[in-house]
Structure 1
Amino acid sequence: MSSDRIRWSHKSLEELRTFWNVEIGPALRRNGHDLDERPSYQDLLDVGYGGVQDALRRHHDLTLGEFLESVGYVEPDSEDGYAWGIDDETSIEELENFLHTARRRRGLSENTVVSKRTRLARYARLYRDLHGSANFVERARDRDTAPTENQRAMAVFDELDVELGSPQSKLHHLADVNDFYKYLSAVRSVATYNPVADFRESVYSKWTRETTDDRDSRDLPALEAADIQRVLDAGDGLEDRLLVLATCAWGLRRGEVAALHHSQFVLSDDDPRIDFGEERKNGPGAVTLLYGLETLERRIGTLADSEQWNGYLFPSRAADSGHINPDTVTNRFKRLADNAGVRVCGETPTPQLGRRFWYRTYLDAVQSLASQVETIAEEQGSSDARVVVENYLGEVEARRRRRELMRERLAEAFDNQSTELSVSSAD
C-alpha cells in the first residue's frame, strides 16, 4: 500500500494498531528491522510510514512513544514507557497496577485506558505540586490521618475545578481517582479508606447538577450555527459531511452514527426516516429526515459502487463489527473541530455538543410556534400556549409548522454548504 494514499486522519486508535500489525510491522521486518527492538521515527520514515506520528499527535493527542507502548514496545530506560512526572515509586507502581487491571481484567479499550492514565497523571502531579510529594498511596494506609488526607485530595480537586473547562471533564477525573482508591482498598488491600469516597455526592455535587440532561438546563455548552459552518468547511468530502449531519442535523448519538446501516433508512415515501426499532435508548424508534437527504443518497450511491460494501455508512474492514466504533466518531468530529479552530468553553467540542445543538434547535422551534399562537392562548384563558398549539392547529399541522421553523434555524448552519432543502425533526 502506498503511504501517500493512507487516510491517517480517518483511522481510530484501534484501526491504527491493526494497521501497525498488518502493514507497518511487516514492512519494518522486510527492511531488516528486528521487531523485538523498539523502532524509531527514522525507521518509520525509511519504510514510508512516517505519517503515523503526525496523525497520533494531531488526532489522538498521543506521542509516537505512547502509541508504541500500546502495541508492545516501551520507552528506553523506563519500565513501561510512560512518564508519570512524579517520583514516588509506590504510587507509580499502584497506578500502573490499576491500569493493567483495567486493561486486562475489565476489558477496557486501549483508548479508554490512555484517557484514564492521562487524568490520573494530572491528579498525581497536582497532588505533588500542592503537597510536596505524590505519596498519596502511602497516606491512604493510615485511617487515623483520613481527615487530613480528605483535605489534601479536596485541594487537588479545587485546582481541577479551576483548570478544567467542563463539568463533564471534572467528573471524569473524579470518577477515575475514586475508582483508583477503591481498587487500592477492595482489590489490593493497600489502602484502608477512600479519601474521595463522598466527593461527588457532597463537595462537588454541583458538577453533577451542571451535567444534567439537556432538557433540564440550557446553560450546558453546545455548538452554535456558526461553529457548525466552520466544522463543515474543515471537512473533506461526503464522509465528513455526513458525520456532521448525522450528529448536528439528525441528533444521533455517536454510537448510532457509527453503526448506521442502509437498511435502517426508509426513503420510499413522503416521510423519510431512520428506523431504530423499539430498542433505541431514551428516544423515539424513528428519526424523521428532512435535511441531508442529498448527502445521504450520494454517500449510499458512492459506497454501493464497491462490491465489498457491507451496507454500513461508515464501514471499517479492521473492526469485527464491520463499522467504525463510537470512539472513531468522536475522534473524527474533534479532528474537524480542531482543524476549524472551533472551541467551546476552551475545549475541542465532541459530538455530544453537536447533538445538543440539534436538541436546542428543536426546542426553539417548539417554543417559537407556541409564541405564534400566544394570543389565541390568552383568549382561551390557557396559561400554556403549547397546549393550544395541539388543540388549535391539530397534530399534523403543528408538526408541519415545527418542521418549517426547524428548517429556518438549521439553514443558518447548513444551507451555505449545499442546496439541500431538508431538515430533521424528532416528530
Structure 2
Amino acid sequence: MGLSMLFAFLILMVLGVPLYLSLLSTSLFGIVMLGDLSLLRVMGQQFFGGMDVFSLMAIPFFILAGILMNRSGLTDRLLDFSRLLVGSVRGGLGYVNVVGGIILAGVNGSAAADASALGSILIPAMVKDGFSPPYAAGLTAGSALIGPIIPPSIFMIIYATMTNTSIGGLFAAGILPGIVLGGAFMAMNYVYSHRYQVPVADFAEVRKRKKEILIRSLAALFAPVIIVGGIVTGIVTPTESGALAVAYCLLAGLFYTRQLTMRALAESFYETVRLSSSIFLIMGAATVIGWLLKWEQVPQRFASLILQAGLLDKPWLLMIVLSAIIFPVGMFMEEVSTLALLTPIFAPIALKAGIDPFHFGVVMTLNVTIALITPPMGACNYIVAAVGRVKLADVFVHIWPFIGVALLVLLVIISFPPLTTLLPRLLNL
C-alpha cells in the first residue's frame, strides 16, 4: 500500500494539486485501499490534531517578528553593524552578507525571509562592488541557509514538536553548526575574492559613523538577544519568546525608527497569516498521512530493512544513508512537508541506533535546509534571482559550489557529534 500511496502522491504533485490537498487525497486513497471507511472520522481528528499543538504557536510569532524587523528598518541597521564588524577588506560585502545572515538568523528562523532581506539590499551593492551577479545571488542564498540552523528555527520547532524533543535544547544544538556554516561561506568568499581580485571594500564612511551606527544598531541587536537568550536560558518558552520579540519590534518600529506605518503593519499581519496558514495546513495533512503510514507499520518495516543492513550498529553510516534519502526528497518537495513526512519514520530509527536526538535533529534540519538552494525547487534561488534582478538560469548554474560547501559542513556535523551536543549539555537542556 505504501508504494501505491507514493505513486498517487507523485501524480497529484505533477498535476499541480496544492501540497496539503495532495497529502490529504493520498491519505483518502490509502483509506479506500484499506476498505475501512470508518477511518475517515479518525482522518479528520488527525488533521486538526496535527495543527492543534501549542508549541507550533511560536511559528507565526517568529514569522511576524522577522517581517516587522524588515519593515521597521531594523534589518538595515543590522547590516550597517555587519559592515562595521567586517572593516575594509577585499570582498568585504561578501563577509557582510554572511555576518548579516548570522545575525538575522537570530530573529525569524526562515531562510526565505533572510534571502529576501539580504538579497534586496546586498546583491545590487555586491555587483556594484565588483562581484559577479550569479556569485552575489549564490552567496546570499547560502547565507540564508543559516536562518533555520541558528535559533530560532521554524524547521526545528516542527521537528521538536513531532519528536517530543526539547525545543530549547535543539535550538542550543544549532548554534555551533550555524556558525560553522557561516565560517565555511566566509572561507569560500575569501577564495573567490582573491582569485578574481574583487576590489577592497571601502567602509571609510562607515567607520566615520562608528558611534552613530553602534547606537542605532543596539535597538536591532536586542531582538536576537530576546529570542535566543530567553529560550536557551529557559527564562521563557519559544512561544513566549516569539511574542516578546513581536512586541519589541512593534514598539521599536512605531516609536523608535518610526518607519512602521499602519499600512505596513496591516500588510505584515496579512503576510504572517498567509505564511502561517500554509505551514499549519501542511502540518495537519502530513499528520494524517503519517498516522496512516504508522497504521500500516511502514516505519517498522523500514526499520527492519535498516536492521538487516546492519546500519543500526554504525550510527555515522546510518546518518549518511538517511541524509541520502532526505536531501533528494527535499529537492522535489516543499521543505515543511519533507520534514513532517520523514521525521516520524527516521527519528525513531536514529534513536534506536543510539544517535543523540539533538544531533539527529540538526542533521535532518540541515538536510532539508540545503534543499532550499538546490534545483529544481530551491525556493531561495527564485527569491534571490527576483529581488537581486539576476537571471534564474545563471543562479541555477552557479549555485552548485555553495551546495557543495553546505554538504561538506553537513558531513562535518555528522562526523563530530559534539558540535551539536556540547551546548545543550553545558546548559542542562
Q: Same fold (TM over 0.5)?
A: no
Report 1 or 2 for greater relative contact order, CA contacts < 8 Å, sequence distance ≥ 6: 2
Largest Rg, 1 or 2: 1
